[in-house]
Amino acid sequence: MDTRDFTTRFTVGQAPDAVFAAICNVRGWWSADITGSADRVGDRFVHRVRDLHRCEIAIKQMVPGSKIVWTVLDNHFSFTHDATEWTGTDIVFEITKAGGQTELRFTHLGLVPAYECYDVCSDGWSTYIASLRDLVATGNGRPYAGEARTASEQALMGQTPTDPAQA
């Protein structure tokens, strides 16, 4: 693991199993348009945001209530010189119990500041991991559903920010 890999974390009052289940519900926190499944090792799913981003992800490892690792099999960005920047990277969800709380540490191994997509992707991951936290804490995530959710998505889609909090 490179110390520059994108990492974020959150803490919730729910049990580790609830966090684990929510991660597997990728349509509930990342994108309503995901095809495929993310329930067991070997499952594959495709995430797509218009013509801007498409990636195919495989579930590489699952330790119930503790850890999930995805690997990016294929990636295409329309907004970077190297459209395949994510290909071969791993996305790691580590769940730990801390007192009466559960912590999720999310790391996209290989997503480093040298990547052209880093700013857009770290903005996206921050938004969607917050959506995952909401899904765990309240039962309702805020996944991508065809409309730009982040300022970066709005800029790439040629839109002006409509929510001042996202500007």
**Read out DSSP for 66-81?**
TEEEEEEEEEEESSSS
Within 13 Å of residue 147, how many CA atoms lie on the same side as its CB?
5
105, pLDDT greater than 70: yes
What global pTM score does this model have? 0.89
Two structure tokens written together for 62 = 């699952």
Would you state the pLDDT for residue 51? Answer: 85
Please tell me the predicted confidence (pLDDT) of residue 164.
Answer: 45
pLDDT given at position 119: 93
Query: Rounded CA gap, 74 and 92, in Å?
Result: 17
User: What local confidence, expressed as pLDDT, does residue 60 receive?
Assistant: 98
More confidently predicted of 165 and 34:
34
* 163 has pLDDT over 50: no
Reply yes or no on whether the pLDDT at 26 is more than 80. yes
Average pLDDT over residues 73-99: 94
Q: Which domains does the chain have, with CATH numbers?
A: 6-166 (3.30.530.20)
Lookup: tokens for 66: 């503790």
CA distance 10 to 56: 26
Q: With 70 as the cut, is the pLDDT of residue 165 above it?
A: no
pLDDT-based confidence at 144, cuts 50/70/90? confident
pLDDT at residue 166 greater than cutoff 60: no
User: What pLDDT is attached to residue 158?
Assistant: 73
SS3 32: coil
Tell me what the pLDDT averaged over the chain comes to. Answer: 90
Sign of CA dihedral 32, 111, 71, 61: negative
